[in-house]
Amino acid sequence: MQKIKNLLYNDLFVYGIIIILGFLLYFKSLFFNFVYLDDNELILNNINFLSDIHNFFTAFTTDVFHVSHEAAVYYRPLLTVSFMFDAILGGASPFLFHLSSTIIHLVASILVFTLLNKLRYQRAVSFFLSIIFLVHPVLTQAVSWVPGRNDSLLAVFVLASFIFFLGYLEERKTRSIILSVSFFALAMFTKETAIVLPFMCLMYLWAVNFLRWKVVSRFLLGWFLALCAWYPLHSLAMKNPIPMTVKDMLESLFKNMPASIQLLGKIFFPFNLSVLPNISDTTFFWGIGSILLIIILVVYSWKKEKFYKNSYKMMLFGLAWFFLFLIPSFVRPDPTIIADFIEHRVYLPIVGILIFLVESRFFDNLRGKMKKLFLIAGFVVIVVFFTVTFFHQNNFANRIAFWKNASENSPHSPLAQRNMGAMYQLDNRNDLAKEYYLKTIALHNLEPMVHSNLGLIYADEGNYSEAEKEYQTEISFNPTYANAHFNLGLLYYKTNRLNQARNEWEKTLEINPDYTDATNALSIINTAEK
């Protein structure tokens, strides 16, 4: 036992265990395909952009989907840059994308260990919790779903920044300020959620009774300079953002906040996992159980407060870390769309729960007569989590597996039903595709793209009248959907209504000037008429 304890004081041993265990767990994910939730748009449809290193700086001046003709949605330049390295080395092959996501997760797990160690928790406890983080089922989506790396990449930069922040408090070296601020800047260029980090740093100073103006002022200057670098580029990329008022944001936040209870439940009891969960199809049972558990731990810690002065402040710090890093994901630009609460969003917030657990004195019994029982229980938890994660990642193996899980676990999600139909349509299984499209329409008749896709099926069947009705229905509530106009133009062309076909293709190009198929189709008509 003493030899094992000594090994835990060897950083290389700890890092080696994390790396080996992580690769054993996620090895099969390396051979997964894309699942066609954002990865097709972010990677496959933009592979030419990603494969050209000359676009490196352009990534910082465009939104993550590289749209020039639609409203910008998300600014994620470092996510794009990470995809660029994968694309340059491996093209559109998913292997390198999955390998990079796995490596980022391993780095994040090592940083979790480093952070807990920096907070001066028992080394054995820090190691155990970093392994829990490594194998936790709720984090599977951040690793096995390629776009989920946005949150693991964010966690790497935020954790690194906070670790150097703690380093400055210990050593008072300017180098630590520079590194901490630099990683904060990288986090901002990864996801806007990083703006929470300065507040967490200030709250930590409050929790440890070290809120000194001299320390705060130095970091305030650094954070301000980082934001000065980020804001102009963000504004340039998001010059045509989706309009959203403060009222819209607050309403969205209030409407979606109950999901925090469900996500909290998946941290403590990760057994009702889904690739595309929504509030209506997810139980609150485990979340309520988790809240009760937190209350019990708070009461337990409170009774021991005379022995552990100020631990309640760090418990608040841990809970604040969880909620404040999670809350931004509840603000959605379109309140009419049923929101999903994909589990990768708890990747960074879960660190706060780990801190809370340590501060609640839950691990104080890791000594004496209870030590053996705790070790056995901890080993069982790791094995169970490892096993659940090992099998749960199969839901990310390919697009059919992914959307089958989504449609089954989120039966009230129009998006899940529509995309399950779209996957079958891509495989030329139109009978099944039509079945899921009709399910979608029954749930939400105004679900974008579903009528246009259904129109394609009717057109393939030669039922042009029904196809035309579906295209017109799509355009009636989704007039800026270029594909619907293009498909309607094709139908008019096939039925020898050339003027109407031309009109639809011209509308297509008004919406999306880069729609090359519409440009080619117009040239065919113009050539035929000469």
pLDDT tens-place values along the chain, 530 residues long: 555 566 666 778 899 999 999 999 999 999 999 999 999 999 998 999 999 999 999 999 988 887 655 556 789 999 999 999 999 999 999 999 999 999 999 999 999 999 999 998 988 899 999 999 999 999 999 999 999 999 999 999 999 999 999 999 998 899 999 999 999 999 999 999 999 999 999 999 999 888 788 888 999 999 999 999 999 999 888 877 666 677 777 787 888 889 999 999 999 999 889 999 999 899 999 999 999 999 988 887 776 655 455 678 899 999 999 999 999 888 876 666 667 889 999 999 999 999 999 988 777 765 556 677 778 888 999 999 999 999 999 999 999 999 999 999 999 999 999 999 999 999 999 999 999 999 999 999 999 999 999 999 999 999 999 999 999 999 999 998 999 999 999 999 999 998 999 999 999 999 888 888 889 888 888 776 65
**φ, ψ (nearest 5 deg) of residue 67:** -85, 140
| Phi, psi values for residue 340, rounded to 5° | -105, 160
8 by Cβ neighbours in 10 Å (0-12 / 13-18 / 19+) ranks as middle
188 and 202 Cβ atoms separated by less than 8 Å: no
Residue that has been written with the tokens 């984090």 in this structure = 139
Task: In whole angstroms, give the CA distance from residue 66 to residue 72.
Answer: 8
d(CA 499, CA 519): 15
Residue 524 resides in a domain: yes
Residue 337 lies in a domain: yes
The C-alpha atoms of residue 150 and residue 406 are separated, in whole angstroms, by 21
Select from 363, 396, 429 the last residue of a domain. Answer: 396
Task: Give yes or no: residues 33 and 112 share one domain.
Answer: yes
* DSSP type of residue 46: G
Supply the range of the domain harboring residue 208: 25-241+252-396
Kindly state the tokens that stand for 138.
């709720």
User: What CATH number does the domain containing 485 carry?
Assistant: 1.25.40.10
Do 296 and 328 lie in one domain? The reply is yes
Does 429 lie in the same domain as 387?
no
pLDDT at 366: 59
In a domain, 406, yes or no: no
Residues 52 and 72: their CA atoms lie apart, in Å, by 22
- Say if residue 314 is in the same domain as residue 447: no
d(CA 36, CA 42): 10
CA distance 261 to 253: 14
Task: Report how far residue 478's alpha carbon sits from residue 333's, in angstroms, rounded to the nearest whole number.
Answer: 16
Judge whether 9 lies within some domain.
no
Q: Which of residues 368, 396, 424 is at a domain's end?
A: 396
Q: Where are the alpha helices (DSSP H) in 11-148?
A: 11-26, 39-42, 47-50, 77-90, 94-118, 123-135, 140-144
Query: What pLDDT score was predicted for residue 214?
Result: 81
The answer to whether 476 and 495 have CB atoms below 8 angstroms apart is no
Q: Could you tell me if 241 and 72 are in contact, meaning their C-beta atoms sit under 8 angstroms apart?
A: yes
Residue 205 contacts residue 211 (beta carbons within 8 Å): yes
What integer pLDDT is reported at residue 53 of this predicted model? 93
Give DSSP secondary structure letters for 136-181. -GGGHHHHHSGGGHHHHHHHHHHHHHHHHHHHHHHH--HHHHHHHH
CA angle, 338 then 341 then 345, to 5°: 150
Q: Are 440 and 447 in contact (CB under 8 A)?
A: yes
pLDDT for residue 299: 83
What pLDDT, on a 0 to 100 scale, did the predictor assign at position 23?
Answer: 96
Is residue 5 situated within a structural domain?
no
- Location of structure tokens 């030899």: 3
Q: Is residue 76 in some structural domain?
A: yes
**Count of domains in the chain?**
2
Residue 506 lies in a domain: yes
515 to each of 43, 48, 276, how far by Cα in Å? 18, 15, 30
Residue 241 bridge partners (DSSP) = 72
Give the tokens for residue 394: 């199969």
Query: Are 39 and 135 in a shared domain?
Result: yes
**110/31 same-domain check:** yes
- In three-state secondary structure terms, 38 is coil
Same domain, 161 and 274: yes
| 338 secondary structure, DSSP code | P
Report the alpha-carbon distance of residue 379 to residue 131 in Å, rounded: 10
One-letter identity of residue 66: H
129 and 236 belong to one structural domain = yes
- Shared domain check, 504 and 355: no
* Residue-level pLDDT at 307: 47
Same domain, 260 and 365: yes
Sign for the pseudo-dihedral over CA of 236, 240, 242, 246: positive
Q: Do 64 and 147 sit in the same domain of this protein? A: yes
pLDDT of residue 283: 92
Domain membership of residue 297 (yes or no) is yes
- Is the domain of 178 the same as that of 39? yes
Report the distance separating Cα 105 and Cα 347, nearest Å.
10
Of 344, 361, 396, the last residue of a domain is: 396
Angstrom distances, CA of residue 342 to CA of 95, 260, 274, 440, 464: 23, 11, 8, 20, 38
- Count CB atoms within 10 A of the CB of residue 359: 25
